Each structure stands twice: as structure tokens, then as C-alpha cells.
Amino acid sequence: MGNSSSQMTIIIDENNGLSQNQMFEASEVYLRTKITPSVSRLKVSKAPREKNFSVTVNKGEKIIDAFEDIQVIWQVTCTENQKKSTDYEGGFSNENVERKSIELSFHKEHREKVLSSYLSYVLERAKAIKEEDKVVKLYSLGRFHGYYDGSWRSVNLDHPSTFDTLAMDPPLKKELMDDLDRFVKRREFYKRVGKAWKRGYLLYGPPGTGKSSLIAAMANYLKFHIYDLELTSLLSNSDLRSILASTANRSILVIEDIDCSSDFQKRQAGGNNNVDSQLTLSGLLNFIDGLWSSCGDERIIIFTTNHKDRLDPALLRPGRMDIHIHMSYCTPSGFKILASNYLGINNHSMFTEIEKLITEVEVTPAEIAEELMKSEDADTALEGLLNYLHTKEMEHGKANVEGEKEARGKEQESEEISSLQFCASRSREDPANPTTSILSEDPATIGKLPATVSRALSLPRESSDNPTSFGTL
């Protein structure tokens, strides 16, 4: 490195007054990746909830780094200072306090380059390294007596789902991954066009098609924390505001089963006029449009539902949810992904028959995964799956036959009813006609009717399981 008079040194202290020095933290993180076999002493630590060890360079150790055409030397130093402190009885005592610093030395002629480029490079690299090491967390609402208590509780997200393990048609998967990549790279774009840096997804499809698995895959891919929001545990619109304020940037907010929040719906029916003291659809929409947009950056919101048709159209309006993703029953390409994950095979003589059956019966990836897990031997597992699919096919066939029978029965009923109605209209014209008594609403008379007709007359006009959606509330 030449003689010492041509050298200069930058000192990076651990603290900057009372606040932490960001450059120190970044340098420590960066140096972790520059440890070479020549370094003889390392420091190792592990926080209770972290997965990996943290390895740092011990004081006195030197690390040489190269940046473009220059060479720099890093060294961790530590000085001990004495600090006066007061004891319980008001007396003074001396306390030894360690001050950690990192020194960066280089040739004087590189001063400009180090200050203007190298340090920013170290900051950027440290950010990327921290992002790679980030442990993704799953936050759920703290509760007291079943209701939100004003806090989020977190655990590490140990969900192993990734885009590789997800049974989803490859073109759709690619489209979604490209969309996520584009989204995280577009800070400047969102700023330029004056739009909040947010993205909304609606995942819909039957149970067991992988909606939760997809959310976990997205979180693992982006290294975004998940905030799982259950509407049923929120009492009011103001709850929504406060929970929003306490979520972090670079996170995914998930509102699951948006159509099935039965407790929430019952509470809606209470008819309280104070809009802030209850949770309402308009409160939720305001949240998506306004509050959500004005709070924080780089966030994703995901709604899931098993019944897209039950959602209020206001929720589906363009601009609210940017992308609607249909999680469908398993397809042949989805099956191949599962077979590769679960059995480690990409082909087998039974594949053709299995794939044919998969296109004929509705089977979820969850059902297929369960069958494939039953044996580590590919022949046995695939045989089991084949039996399972054949059974489903038979049930499906039976159900179809019964369905057709029922439909034929209904046709017959309606033919009988319409012929009776025809008689009735004729009888009104001619009161003497004997069919008049058949159409009276006297139960005794109805009892004498052929069974199908009496059933038809006693049925309520609208089906009672008409789903309740936000709209109907």
C-alpha cells in the first residue's frame, strides 16, 4: 500500500452521538462477506429467533478489499474509555466503556472515489445482504376475548412453499413472478406517475387449490413479511386505521376468506349509525383506496375467497385489485410439478392415464399432494393416486346420472305444473270446471295431489341458502 504518508484513513464510529451510525452497521454487514482464510479471529452470535449464526470480524483483524482499480484495507478497532457514573448513594464511580470503530485506509489519491462511490456501494451491498438474510415473519392480530387488542404478534414464517414447489400452470406462474419483479423495481416509476407504490391481488378458487401456499411463496420470494388480517376480530373502521399504521414497509397484508366472515356480517346487521364504531364495506374500501395508499411504501394487499361470485362488485372494480388470479383444480402440468416435488420423478408409465383423469374430474392439488405423500415409492404412490382418481370419476359419473335424473324429474314436475296452470286458467274462465278445487290452497286438497306437485307448491320461491355478501349487508 506504499508508505504511510501517502495513506489516509476514514474512521467509522459505532455511534453518531446518541443515534446509531448507519455506515458502521453497513460496514459490519459488508465485511461479513469479505472474510478470507487469512482472518484468524471471528466473532459468532445468534439471536434466539434467528435461524442463522451471525459472524463478524474481531477487533484488530484486517480485511483487504478491491473496488474497481483501487485497494482498501478495513480494520475493526476498539478503544476503552472511562466514564463517570453516579452510584445509589450519590457518589461517583468510574466505568469502562468500549467504543467500537471500523477504520478504512487507502491511498490518498483515491479519496474522491472512496467517498463518492465506494461508501455508497458498501451501503447498497449491505442492504442487499441484509435482505438475503432476512427472516420472513408472519404477523397476526393479538387478541383479547376474541377481539383485536391493538397489537401484532409475530412468528417466523416457516412455510416452505416457493414458486418452484407450487403446482400452478407455468405461464401463469411466470406472469405473476414477472409482475412481482416489476413491482419491486418500480419505486421511481410509481413516484413519477403519482401513484402509491402498492399492488393488490385477488386470489380465488376452491379450498385446497393453493391460495395460502401462493401467499407464502410470494412472501418467501420477495422476502416480505405477512400481516394476516382477520376481519372477524376487528370491531370498527378505526381499528383498521390503527392496524395499518403499525405494519411495516415491504410487507404483504392478507385478508382471507373475504366472503365468509360470518361474525363480522352479523355485527354489520346491528344497524349502528356511528360509521366509525363498526366495520363496514365502505370502511374497507376507503382503507384500500385512501388510507392504505397514503401509508407506507412497497406494499402488497391480497384478498382471498372461495367464492368470487359472492363478492360485492365494488371490491372487484378495476383499480382496487390490480390482478385477479384464479387458483384452479389441478391441471396435468400442476400434477407434474407435484410429482417432481413429492416423488422426484418427471415421467412414469402411469402419467398418461393420471393426466387424462385429471382433466376429467375436479381434483385439487391438496388432494393429489395427500395421495403422493402416502408412499415414498413412486409406483405405490402413483397407483394409490390412480385408484383415488378412479373412485372420484365413478362418484362424478354417479352424481351426473343422479343430477340428470333430478333434472328430468324437475322437467316432468314443471310439465305437470304448467298443465295444471293451464287447467287453472281454463277453470277460472269456467268455474264449473272440476280442476278448480285441485288448485285451491287448502292443505287438505294439496295432500291429495300427486307428490311431485305438492312438493313444488310447498317449496319457497327462493332458495334459502342464498349467500350473504357485503353487498346484501
Ligand X SMILES: Nc1ncnc2c1ncn2[C@@H]1O[C@H](COP(=O)(O)OP(=O)(O)OP(=O)(O)O)[C@@H](O)[C@H]1O
Site residues, ligand X (CB under 6 A):
165-168, 207-213, 306, 327, 365-366, 369
Minimum CB–partner distance for residue 369 and ligand X (Å):
4
Of 209 and 268, nearer to ligand X (C-beta) is 209
CA gyration radius for the chain?
34
**Residue placing its CB nearer to ligand X in the complex, 139 or 335:** 335
Residue carrying the nine cell digits 277453470: 427
Smallest separation, CB 60 to ligand X (Å): 50
CB closer to ligand X, 48 vs 344: 344
Q: How far is the CB of 303 from ligand X (least distance, A)?
A: 12
CB of 208 to ligand X, least distance (A): 5
- State which residue, 76 or 321, has the beta carbon closest to ligand X: 321
In whole angstroms, what is the distance from residue 169 CA to residue 220 CA?
A: 19
Q: Whose CB is nearest to ligand X?
A: 210
Q: How far apart are CA 80 and CA 89, in angstroms?
A: 26
Nearer to ligand X, 57 or 219 (CB): 219
Crossing angle for the helix pair 119-133 and 22-32, to the nearest 10 degrees: 70
The alpha carbon of residue 238 and the mean position of all alpha carbons in its chain are separated, in whole angstroms, by 23
The distance of closest approach from Cβ of residue 112 to ligand X in the complex, given in angstroms and rounded to an integer, is: 53
Q: Of 179 and 276, which has the nearer Cβ to ligand X? A: 179
Give whichever of 326 and 398 is closer to ligand X, judged by the CB atom.
326
- Least separation in angstroms between residue 366's CB and ligand X is 3
* CB nearer to ligand X: pick between 200 and 208: 208
Q: Of 12 and 202, which CB lies nearer to ligand X in the complex structure? A: 202
- For the bound state, the minimum distance from the C-beta of residue 206 to ligand X, rounded and expressed in Å, comes to 7
Distance of closest approach, residue 207 Cβ to ligand X, in angstroms: 3
Q: Measured from the CB atom, is 281 or 366 closer to ligand X? A: 366
